[in-house]
Amino acid sequence: MKRLLLAIFTLSSIANAQEPTSSSTTTAPTTEIQAPVSAPTTTPIEEEDEDDESREAAVSTSTANGNVEKAYPKFEFTSYGYIVFGQRETFKTVQNLTPITRREMDLAEIAFEGEYILSDSSKIEFEIEIEHGGVGTVVEFDPFEEFGEFEQEIEKGGEVVLPELYYKKTWKKTNTALKVGKFPLFIALGSVQTKPHMYASILASDLEARMIPLNWTETGVQVEQKFSDFTARLGVVSGLNSEFFRTYNWIGGGYQRHFETTNADDLATLASIEWGSVAKGKGFALSYYAGNTTGNRYKVDKLKEDAEVTLWTLMGGYKFGGFGFSGEVIEGTLENSNLVSAANATLGGLAKPKAFAPLGHKARLESLQIYYDFASIRLTPFLKWEHVNTFEEVEGNINKNPRYDVTRNSGGLMWFFDQGAFLKAQYATEVTELEGLPETYQANIAFGFDIDSFK
């Protein structure tokens, strides 16, 4: 908390020092109006003409000032959404090795992104997501419980989400920007490439959700500084809660959206250096995340030792003519993972992890996607390879679980058949290192729209 307050104080001081005063922006029009009136020698006709000119200038300036006054605040918004139809192979329970086939339809997501533009250097951005077409409690079937189990989940933050709400101030003179609020973390492709037209597959990453929070956003403060084609970022954000770390998604469940408020006893540091633009598919970035997670636990007596999460990410992509590629490598470490597993195993109620308490000490994710963009017909076929292993290294009495060493290969296409409307098709096969567990497949078709693709 001290780091956050110190950062806010420092940034506020910088902002006040660099921000031009409002009077400087209104001086110029006034000077232009007074110039003809002060001419030294005039004839009556000329004086009359000058009076007319002065009145016209005054009217013009008044109109201009009126336009300036009406120019801000402005509101702009964009939107995207899609529906997915799919067929996949899965297993009845975690002990079963014979796959079954299921079909699904899902109104996966519709998102509204808005900007209140306060001035030419500041704005407030927000995003509202409606997922799976509804809101409230849901009943889910969890096939990975010992015998399969129906569960009722409170989808607070899961069905209607406000993932982003932040104020952004830009100082053009020094190419500096400040974000305060809840914003996407610059840590993975899934939280950087946030709109469907930015990637050819149905999701930016199919396996990120097995290791880290999907579409990860946090509350905090971040400074961005541009140097030519490079952008450096440094931020302090809310941390994770290790009580919700689970075997099947490693630290992904620690994203604190289960409760109305976020525990902020432990904060996290975020830093990155980017060349070009990863979001636009022409750039590379190295990112770093570090934060303790013990202080944010609700059951404070079950774990006293530190449980810091450290992530390093190298991500990016480039395009040569129609050919392009994108990918990422994420390396993660969970300190005292065996102690976190032991503390979580004794939790009760809705937080009880049951068989999913064991956690790996180190985890790793790699992905590579290649594609060719037929720009004239807006068709983009692709091939994609992904691998994730959340038990790359273990501590104490935790055993490696090969079921969570997963390789996924997929191929498909993205086609914008109308101005902002797209169709995506993807076929994927998935195999784990667990002996005897057969390879499974998944086929999906997504229909959707992305207004941001007009830009």
Q: Which domains, and CATH codes, for the chain?
A: 71-454 (2.40.160.10)
Residue 197 · residue 453 · CB < 8 Å: yes
The pLDDT of residue 3 is 55
The predicted model gives 336-365 an average pLDDT of 91
The pLDDT of residue 419 is 84
Which two tokens mark 146?
């010992």
Residue 207 — pLDDT band, cuts 50, 70, 90? very high
Q: Identify the CA nearest to 297 among candidates 241, 353, 338.
A: 241
The predicted model gives 113-118 an average pLDDT of 94
The pLDDT of residue 154 is 57
The pLDDT of residue 440 is 94
The predicted model gives 255-273 an average pLDDT of 89
The pLDDT of residue 63 is 47
The pLDDT of residue 65 is 52
Residue type, 23: S
Whether the bond between 36 and the residue before it is cis, its omega within 30 degrees of 0, is: no
Which two tokens mark 366?
């790699």
* Cα 258 from Cα 252, distance rounded (Å): 12
Which two tokens mark 193?
């490439």
Q: pLDDT tens-digit profile of 283-308?
A: 999 999 999 999 999 988 889 999 99
Q: Nearest 5°: phi and psi at 381?
A: -80, 155
The pLDDT of residue 46 is 43
Residue 75 · residue 114 · CB < 8 Å: yes
Q: Nearest 5°: phi and psi at 197?
A: -75, -10
The predicted model gives 85-90 an average pLDDT of 92
Angstrom CA distances, 378 to 249, 373, 394, 412, 415, stand at 35, 7, 46, 14, 6
Q: Identify the CA nearest to 112 among candidates 146, 77, 144.
A: 77
* Cα 447 from Cα 306, distance rounded (Å): 45
Which two tokens mark 407?
């390789």
The pLDDT of residue 350 is 76
The predicted model gives 215-226 an average pLDDT of 95
Q: pLDDT tens-digit profile of 178-197?
A: 999 999 999 999 999 989 99
447 CB contacts (<8 Å, ≥6 apart)?
Answer: 82, 83, 421, 422, 423
Residue 250 · residue 360 · CB < 8 Å: yes
Find the distance separating the first CA and the last CA of the chain, reported in whole Å. Answer: 39
* Cα 186 from Cα 122, distance rounded (Å): 21
Q: Identify the CA nearest to 405 among candidates 428, 431, 385.
A: 431
The predicted model gives 274-286 an average pLDDT of 96
Q: Identify the CA nearest to 287 among candidates 197, 219, 212, 360.
A: 212
The pLDDT of residue 390 is 96
* ∠ CA 132-245-205, rounded to 5°: 50
- H/E stretch holding 31 reads helix 22-34
For the cut 60, the answer to whether the pLDDT of residue 278 exceeds it is yes
Residue 383's SS3 state is strand
pTM, two decimals, is 0.81
Q: pLDDT tens-digit profile of 410-446?
A: 999 999 998 889 999 999 999 999 988 899 999 999 9
Q: Identify the CA nearest to 385 among candidates 320, 327, 330, 444.
A: 327
Which two tokens mark 447?
């229909």
CB-count burial class (<10 Å; 0-12, 13-18, 19+) for 48: exposed
CA of residue 450 relative to chain centroid, distance: 17
